[in-house]
Amino acid sequence: MSSIRRRTLTLIIGLLFAGLLILTAFNLHDSNHEIDEVYDAQLAQHARLLLGIMRMPNSSTDQAQLYHAFNLALSQAIPQVDGHPYESKIAFQVWSRKGSLLVRTTSAPALAVPPLEPGFSNERDAGDRQWRAFILDDQDSGLRIWVGERVDIRSDLVGRIMRHTLWPNIVGSLLLTVMIWLAIGWGLRPLANMAATLRARHSGSLEPLHLEPLPSELEPMQAALNRMLTQIQEVLGRERRFIADAAHELRTPLAVLRVHAQNLLEAGTEQERRASLESLLLGVDRAARLVNQLLTMARLEPKAQQHHTQSVDLAQTVRESLVQLTPWLLSKGLELSFDVDERDYPIRAEAASIDIALNNLISNAVNFSPANGVINVRLRQAGEQFELSVEDQGPGIDEAERERLFERFYSRGNAHGAGLGLTIVSVIAHHLGGRINLDNLPQGGLRATLSIPCNQRSRLSSAWMPQRGQ
C-alpha cells in the first residue's frame, strides 16, 4: 500500500485540479454569456445611434451628401495605419424603404436582399464567416439598419480572458501543491517519528513506548502497542515459569524412573524384577499425571485471550461429568452419590472448565478416601451463588495447612500427587468469578466447595478435557 502522505496528496491534488477544471468550465460559460450580453447591447445601441443620425431632418440633397460622406469615410478607413484591427470585424448597412442600399461599410457582408426579421440573428457571409447581427426597422423613416459583428471577435476576447485567468490558476495550484506537500509532511511528522522509533528498536525489546510530545490521534496507537508489549511480556513470563516448573518437577520423577530401570536390570529374581517393573509403571503414571497437570496450569493461566462462553445448566454439566467418572470410582472400590435440588442452574461458562474442576476435586477425594468409602457430591443455591461441594470420608486437613494446599506442587500425604489439583481448581474458580473453600466435616472427612455466581460471565475458555485420576 502506498504511503499516507502520497495517498493524501494524490486525493487533495486530484480534488484541487478537478475543482479548478469545474471552475474553468463555469468561467468559460459565464464569460461567453456575459460577453454576448454586453456586445449584443452595444450592437443595439449602435443601431439606434445610427438611426438617430439617419433621421436628422435634412433635404434629399443633404441626405444624399450625408450618405456619400458616410460611404467615403468608411471606405477610406485603414485599420492597420490609423485605426484598430477589429474595425474590419464590425460593420453596418442601411437600406431605404424601397430596398436600396444607402450606407454600407466596406467590411460588411454582401446581402442580396435586406433581412426582413428585426432583432438579433446569426448569419454567414460569402467567406463562411459567422456574424452576430442586429436589425432595427424604423417604420417612420422607412429605414432598415443592420449592425453586425464578427463572432471571432468575441471568441478571441473570451480566449484572452481565459488565458489570463487560467495561467495564474495553474501556477498558483502548483505552488499550492508544494505547500500542501510540505504541510502534510509537517502534520505527519509525529507518525514518521513513531515509525522511525519502532524501526530503531531492537527486535527483542519489549519496553513500553514513551513518545513525547504525541498528538491525540496517536495516543490510542501508542497505548495499544504498549498493551500488546505487556501481553507479550506476560506470555513470555508464563512460558519461562512453565519451563522452570516443568524442569524442576520432572527432575525428581525422571531420576526415580532411572533408579527403577536400573533395579529392573539388576534384579536377580523374578519377584524382584516384577516389583521393580511395578514401581517403574507407578513412576511413569506419576510423571504422566504431573505432565497433564502442568499442561492444564499452562492453559489456565492466560487471562487476556478471547474466551467463548455459553449458557449452560450447571446441574446437567455435573451429571454428565459424574457419569464419566463412575466407572473409575467403582474400580477404586468407592461409591458416588449426587444430591441436587430439581431446578435450573443456569450459568455462563465453558462446560469443560466445570468438568476439570469437578475432576480434580473428586480425584483429591479419592486419594484420601478409605476403602469402600462414599464420595458425596452436592449442588445447592445459596443466595446469589451456586455451591458445588465434594465430600469425602478421609482424615480431613490441618488448619495450619489450609492455605498451603492451594500452592503449586504442594502435595499433602499423597506420594503420587503432583500438588496442582487444588491450584487448578482455585484458578478456575477465579476465572468463574467464584471461590473454593475447604472445611473439615464434624463426622470426619473434608468438604471442598466451589462457589459460582448465578448468571455470571465466565472469563475462562477451555477447549480441552482433563485426564481421569489427576
Pairing of β 346-349 and β 310-313: antiparallel
**Are residues 18 and 120 both part of a single domain?**
yes
pLDDT of residue 456: 47
Would you say residue 10 lies in a domain? yes
Asked whether the predicted pLDDT for residue 175 surpasses 80, the reply is yes
Full domain range(s) for residue 244 = 219-299
**Are residues 244 and 287 both part of a single domain?**
yes
Would you say residue 418 lies in a domain? yes
**Are residues 109 and 255 both part of a single domain?**
no
pLDDT per residue as tens digits for the range 71-105: 666 555 555 445 556 666 778 888 887 778 887 77
Residue 1's pLDDT band, with cuts at 50, 70 and 90, is very low
**Are residues 10 and 143 both part of a single domain?**
yes
**Are residues 293 and 395 both part of a single domain?**
no
pLDDT per residue as tens digits for the range 297-355: 666 655 434 455 678 888 888 888 888 778 778 888 888 888 888 787 888 777 777 87
Query: What is the spatial distance between Cα 81 and Cα 318, in angstroms, rounded to a whole number?
Result: 116
**Percentage of residues of the chain with pLDDT beyond 90:** 1
Would you say residue 175 lies in a domain? no
For residue 29, give the CATH number of its domain: 3.30.450
Pick from 159, 177, 196: which residue ends a domain?
A: 159
Write the single-letter amino acid at 130: Q
pLDDT of residue 325: 77
- Tally of domains within the chain: 3
pLDDT per residue as tens digits for the range 200-227: 787 777 788 877 777 777 788 888 888 8
Instruction: With 0.95 as the threshold, say if the pTM is over it.
Output: no
**Are residues 370 and 313 both part of a single domain?**
yes
**Are residues 333 and 292 both part of a single domain?**
no
Q: How far is CA 267 from the centre of its chain?
A: 70
- List of residues 6+ apart from 188 with CB closer than 8 A: 4, 5
CA dihedral 410, 415, 420, 426 (to 10 degrees): -70
